[in-house]
Amino acid sequence: MKTIGHFVNGMHYDGDSDRISAVFNPATGVQTAAVRLATKAEIDSVVELAASAQTAWGTTPPAKRAQVMFRFRDLLNRHIDELAELLSAEHGKTLADAKGEIARGIEVVEFVCGIPQLLKGEYSGQVAGGVDSYSMRQAVGVVAGITPFNFPAMVPLWMYPVSLACGNAFVLKPSERDPSVVLRIAELLHDAGLPAGLFHVVNGDKEAVDALLDNPQIDAVSFVGSTAIGEYIYARGTANGKRVQALCGAKNHMVIMPDADMNQVVDALMGAGYGSAGERCMAISVAVPVGEDTAERLIEKLTPRIHALNVAPYTDPASDMGPVISKQALERIKGYIAEGEAAGAKLVVDGRGLKLQGYEEGYFLGGCLFDEVTTDMSIYQNEIFGPVVSVVRTGEYEEAVEMINAHEYGNGTAIFTRDGDTARDFCSRVRIGMVGVNVPIPVPVAYHSFGGWKRSLFGDHHIHGMEGVRFNTQLKTMTTRWPSGIRDGAVFNFHTGSDTQA
């Protein structure tokens, strides 16, 4: 059985730690590898390498940094089939889903190929007599990324290409559950011409995370994962003087108006609720039909579609949905289903009895659908992170908006309607970071920015797009005057634009 190490200073590094974590194939439940968990001393050594390399990289012309990203993009496209296979084998998602994930990551690489334009500052001449002002954005220094299992390729690609293009060095701590695709992509980035020392991948657990949060040479930390861990990272990182963005949990609602195209709604909800086994922070886990007739039509059309889901390993080209990531995740999801039943919700479709011949030890769960869910139930309040959709019936539109705004999470939401006035009102009033109109998963394209509100985000910056550039840079403003032979003596007040002399 292979042991997976790290990628340090442009090459693979086995590591010295005797602590390891098992990597499983979720479809079979069989361990396929062991990943070595970095020690604090190893983390500190890697950060020192990154800090040493960053100085020269930060002064490299942005156009030269962009050339690396152009080559990196080409290599990712060329190897996408290989990368999808590595990803699916450890995560369990279908190959089509894996390729889609990688493609969304490539879009961010394409975005930062324009980094010379993105880093342009501003200039104002003659702000006072003989005085000019201009601004520039400079790299923050060394950035750390801590990323989740559910998007082992895409989420890291949302972070480090932007950071590197801005002139930073980057240390990535990916999920130890599916590390192989990250390491292969690190090889491709090195092959694209990124100088050694600027990008490192260190596998680890809480010891590695704490080492990154405490290391004084880490200037900024980007995180995607659960709210509990994100809040911890934000508190510890900012207490140590670091800039932190922590994108966290979600409970995403889809409001279904009486005038909505129900066939379109069901198609959308199937993909948004059950794609990737529901292991997405942007998954729709709550359907909110407005009116009893809308609810009845939704249940009638949705139920047979869930029963018809083809749940199978990624090696089956007809698979709609693969297993969840681990045995622990499977048991946690089943626990929520039992809680929902006990609380009085109606379990319309129960996927717990699913068994696949030859994959009896895999972490498979069929699609589940609850009806008559109320907002006091745990299946409504908490992020289940599995293929479970809850239907919460509402009598009117206002009730739906109030429900969404009252929830502690504010990541994504959607409304399905033919009425433009209703859609416009929804977009304006709903307190959520990302909103879809007849779009179930409103993940922005790479040149816009991704992020939620409320307890779905800790920190001031969203990820990728211009918000990503701002997070990875610091603004510096210069005010200049050159000797002109005119001297009026000391000035004790602030200069203003109306001053005739500086």
281 in catalytic set? yes
Strand partners for 415: 255, 437
* Residue 278 to residues 62, 153, 452, Cα–Cα distance (Å): 39, 17, 18
- The tokens for 373 are 């869910």
SS3 248: coil
- The whole-angstrom separation of Cα 394 and Cα 404 is 12
SS3 502: coil
- The whole-angstrom separation of Cα 374 and Cα 390 is 9
CA torsion through residues 432, 437, 442, 447, sign: negative
114: number of Cβ within 10 Å: 14
DSSP E strands in 269-365: the ranges are 284-289, 346-349
- The tokens for 85 are 């296979």
483: number of Cβ within 10 Å: 7
Give the DSSP per-residue string, 379-412: HHHS---SSEEEE--BSSHHHHHHHHHHSSEESE
- The whole-angstrom separation of Cα 416 and Cα 12 is 48
User: Which position among 248, 281, 368, 427 bears the catalytic label?
Assistant: 281
Q: Torsions phi, psi of 375, nearest 5?
A: -75, -10
61: number of Cβ within 10 Å: 10
User: Which positions are annotated as active-site residues?
Assistant: 281
